[in-house]
């Protein structure tokens, strides 16, 4: 039995591509992510990735910047 597909790798690829200016590829990855996880949002990413570490928060901010550029909705 195969594990259920997850959209998280597609979100990460979408963020990376968006931050590198590869908008069409980012949009394709985000579309796949939204197909697998249609209710995902920036707010949910923040909720799931909380920390008091400044280093972690800096990395999360960069991820969120990419996710926004790739089209992940705020809520």
pLDDT of the chain along its 75 residues, tens only? 777 778 899 999 999 999 999 999 999 999 999 999 999 999 999 999 999 999 999 999 999 999 999 999 999
What is the pLDDT, as a whole number, of residue 66? 98
Q: Are 57 and 51 in contact (CB under 8 A)?
A: yes
Give the per-residue pLDDT at 1. 74
Q: Which two tokens stand for residue 33?
A: 């992510």
CA atoms of 17 and 2, how far apart (whole Å): 28
């Amino acid at each position: 039995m195969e594990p259920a597909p997850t959209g998280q790798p597609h979100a990460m690829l979408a963020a990376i591509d968006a931050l590198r200016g590869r908008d069409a590829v980012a949009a394709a990855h985000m579309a796949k992510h939204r197909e697998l996880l249609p209710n995902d949002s920036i707010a949910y990413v923040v909720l799931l990735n909380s920390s008091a570490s400044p280093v972690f928060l800096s990395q999360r901010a960069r991820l969120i910047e990419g996710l926004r550029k790739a089209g992940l909705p705020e809520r």
